[in-house]
Structure 1
Amino acid sequence: MTMYVRLATNADLTTMMQVIDEGKRALAADQIPQWQDGYPQASDLQQDINAHNAWLLIVDGQVAGTATLLTHPDPNYAHIYDGTWDPTAGEHYTSIHRIAIASGYHGQHLADFYFSNLMTLSYQLGFHQIRIDTHAKNTRMQHVITKAGFTYRGVVYMDGDSTDQRNAYQITL
């Protein structure tokens, strides 16, 4: 099996959206409200592609996953509740968003490889801290995040909406 990550291009948008839609359906089946309001949309992924922040997991020449690696501070992480970001880490960090593995690749532990590569990319770009969040009911993603070495740091709210709460995690490389 050949696996690597690469930047997404405009030609990848349809496939990326298919992977995201599969993720939305999986979350809905588990009764997790995350991604059930239309987000993320193709326009979000297009913005990621245009900004060179969209990274694909490729397995044997096929798109097996999609993720966004932001290299600027996320406004949703400006305030953290019921915890704190590691104060020694500072505000220079990447954040992982919109990550999903295609349904045909579930159960193969590809997220471990994907996270490792996203960490390597962050480090190569000069970032030694990564942040990520997920819904409190998304126990599968919480498992993947902590397995990758992230530490739970507290709660963040999406776009200041007190009804849209996420568990926030951080790792220092």
Structure 2
Amino acid sequence: MAIYIRRAQEKDLTEIIRLIEAGKKVLNDRENPQWQDGHPTVAMMKDDIEHGYSWVLIDDKQVVGTAVLQLRAEQNYAEITDGQWAKSDEPYAIIHRLTIDQTADSQHLGKFFLSNLITVGYLQGVRNFRYDTHLKNVSMQKLGEGMGFVQRGTVYIKDDTDPEHLGYELCLEDEQAVAEE
């Protein structure tokens, strides 16, 4: 069956909430405080859909993943400690709230989803991608590192349980600029 991504629609909200709540449980079971302060909230998820930032991963006509591809800068990423962004003065996209249905996880869908989100951003002119994750979220760290993301330092986010997160960045070449050189 076909596996693809598409922009989330309001009709997907129930499935997105289900995936986020399942992700919260997995993180909690792994003693990871990420997402344990009440976010992401339903209001945030609705807002992501309305702004066109929310994406879903479809496998065999079922929503099995959700993530946000935000094509605008964010205040949380303005400062980074214990390192620096490689392309601090260039535009970037942010990947947030990526989670995959645990029953489908063995199919390496996280890598597929992340790759497709990067492609969507690239097709819109983005060459730099960032995300943050908790120090205990080893699976997200490994996923990003396996895709070429580099840990750049520490960012502090709005999180009542633990605001200290690792900041990751992927800088892609602009093929047209390389060809012109």
Question: TM-score, with normalisation over the residues of structure 2?
Answer: 0.91
Q: For this pair of structures, how many residues does the alignment match?
A: 172
What letter is aligned with 2:132? D
Gaps of 5+ in 2: 173-181
8 Å contact kept, 2:37–2:161: no
Match of 1:135 in 2: 134
The structure with the larger Rg is 2
Segments of 4+ moved more than 2 angstroms:
159-163
Residues 1:172 and 2:174 are matched in the alignment: no
Match of 1:117 in 2: 116
- Cα offset, 1:160, TM superposition: 8.7
Distance 1:163-1:114 versus aligned 2 partners, 3 A rule: closer
- Name the SS of the counterpart of 1:90 in structure 2: coil
- Cα offset, 1:90, TM superposition: 2.5
Distance 1:99-1:158 versus aligned 2 partners, 3 A rule: same
8 Å contact kept, 2:121–2:127: yes
Match of 1:25 in 2: 25
Match of 2:7 in 1: 7
**Mean CA deviation greater in 34-43 or 153-162:** 153-162
Match of 1:96 in 2: 95
8 Å contact kept, 2:69–2:96: yes
- Name the SS of the counterpart of 1:104 in structure 2: coil
Question: TM-score, with normalisation over the residues of structure 1?
Answer: 0.95
8 Å contact kept, 2:37–2:159: no
Distance 1:162-1:106 versus aligned 2 partners, 3 A rule: closer
- Report the Cα distance in structure 1 between the residues aligned to 2:158 and 2:34, rounded to whole angstroms: 14
What letter is aligned with 1:52? G
What letter is aligned with 1:40? P
RMSD across aligned C-alpha pairs, in angstroms? 1.5
What letter is aligned with 1:61? K
